[in-house]
């Protein structure tokens, strides 16, 4: 049985649109820049059209639903990533004090209401998340002038389209993705056919770098067929082990337990290109080995992030909770489901918490 149906897309050069000069004259090898248009910000989410959604709906046989999100206060602490911290929830403030268990009779003795209102300080990629296309870019000579620029998918540029605090003086340290922000994922209302690949069944809980050859073997053994526009979900068991840590994960977990993709493997990269999947998600910390396997010379720290987000316009979902869904699908001899996973419509953000739902 064929495990995927390759689709070959021709090279499409940049096109001047409505009088605008193209952002690039040269696109990276392996990339699909321009294939969806010179101003495209959706990338492979373009594959999630109405026909793909109807195809996904055909996978609903029982109506049973699975929540695919961790509690958003996990992993716990910041051992896995010292730059990201757990959410902090606080009450909004009223003139007479915190707006939690607040009796409105304090403001008007005729009112009987008791209200609670709060807000969250949250790192958008702390727990179950989407990576927007503005999350990872690269150095690349888009103008063929010998000068590397800091660029993102489809040639959108740092300092012009993706703004750091230095680009927004007087904005109190704010940042903003004017292009490729996570709101683009929200606009596409991500919904499609999910395909679960159970890596844990084949590789256990030991730390295993999964190459393209190994992944193809798993697909063949399990009779899994993947086609254009599918959302592939990798179940490794990482989130189960994370939950068992009770909010105190070991700092080395991402490098010592469970299967991860070998992002530097050329066969794996080519499989991702040829399969034309819409998205790749996993229950582990980074989908691929973090960092990628050591190599000499200039290279990406996270090669699959570079390939998928930067070159192919393909969002990543990380730290999803897939255990119950994987167990149910295994018991039923199934691997497909309908996936609904909209991102927050938060303009300018580069990532989003998400509560995905699988319907079977």
pLDDT for res 19:
56
pTM for this prediction = 0.93
What one-character DSSP code corresponds to residue 309?
I
pLDDT per residue as tens digits for the range 25-69: 999 999 999 999 999 999 999 999 999 999 999 999 999 999 999
The pLDDT score that the predictor gives to residue 180 is 98
User: Which alpha helices (H) appear in the chain, and where do they start and end?
Assistant: 50-57, 183-187, 199-203, 212-222, 238-243, 253-256, 266-275, 303-305, 323-332
DSSP secondary structure code for residue 326 in this structure: H
Cβ neighbours of 150 (radius 10 Å): 13
Six-digit token string for 330: 């295994």
Helix or strand run (H / E) with residue 115:
strand 114-115
Half-sphere exposure of 257 (CA within 13 A, CB side): 19
Distances (CA, A) of 163 to 157, 158, 173, 218: 9, 6, 11, 42
What pLDDT does residue 12 have? 39
Q: Report the sign of the C-alpha dihedral through residues 6, 270, 143, 23, in that order.
A: positive
Instruction: Please tell me the predicted confidence (pLDDT) of residue 18.
Output: 52
Strand 149-151 with 162-163, pairing: unpaired
In this structure, the number of other CB atoms found within 10 A of the CB of residue 115 comes to 13
Return the pLDDT at 22: 86
Q: What pLDDT is stored for residue 106 in this prediction?
A: 98
pLDDT of residue 21: 76
Spans of the chain, pLDDT less than 70: 1-19
Q: How many C-alpha atoms does 69 have within 13 Å on its Cβ side?
A: 19
Strand partners, 130: 317, 352
């Amino acid at each position: 049985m064929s495990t995927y149906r390759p689709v070959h897309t021709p090279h499409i050069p940049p096109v001047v649109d409505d009088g605008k000069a193209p952002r690039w004259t040269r696109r990276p090898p392996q990339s699909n820049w321009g294939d969806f248009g010179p101003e495209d910000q959706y990338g492979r989410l373009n594959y999630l059209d109405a026909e793909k959604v109807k195809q996904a709906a055909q996978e609903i046989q029982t109506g049973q639903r699975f929540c695919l999100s961790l509690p958003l206060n996990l992993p716990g602490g910041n051992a896995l990533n010292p730059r990201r911290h757990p959410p902090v929830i606080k009450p909004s403030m009223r003139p007479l004090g915190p707006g939690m268990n607040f009796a409105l009779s304090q403001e008007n003795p005729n009112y009987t209401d008791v209200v609670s209102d709060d807000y969250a300080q949250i790192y958008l990629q702390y727990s179950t998340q989407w990576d927007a296309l503005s999350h990872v870019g690269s150095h690349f000579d888009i103008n063929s002038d010998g000068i590397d620029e800091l660029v993102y998918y489809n040639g959108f540029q740092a300092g012009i389209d993706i703004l750091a605090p230095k680009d927004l003086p007087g904005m109190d340290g704010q940042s903003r993705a004017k292009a490729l922000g996570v709101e683009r994922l929200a606009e596409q209302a991500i919904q499609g056919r999910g395909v679960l690949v159970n890596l844990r069944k084949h590789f256990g809980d030991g730390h295993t770098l999964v190459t393209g050859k190994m992944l193809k073997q798993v697909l063949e053994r399990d009779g899994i067929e993947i086609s254009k526009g599918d959302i592939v979900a990798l179940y490794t068991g990482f989130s189960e082990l994370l939950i068992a840590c009770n909010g105190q994960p070991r700092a080395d977990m991402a490098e010592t337990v469970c299967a991860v993709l070998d992002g530097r493997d050329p066969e794996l990269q080519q499989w991702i290109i040829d399969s034309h999947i819409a998205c790749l998600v996993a229950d582990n910390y980074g989908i691929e080995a973090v960092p990628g396997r050591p190599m000499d010379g200039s290279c990406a720290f996270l090669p699959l992030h570079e390939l998928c987000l930067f070159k192919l316009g393909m969002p990543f979902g990380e730290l999803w909770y897939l255990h119950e869904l994987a167990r149910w699908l295994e018991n039923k001899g199934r691997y497909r489901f309908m996936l609904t996973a909209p991102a927050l419509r938060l303009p300018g953000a580069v990532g989003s918490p998400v509560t995905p739902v699988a319907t079977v």
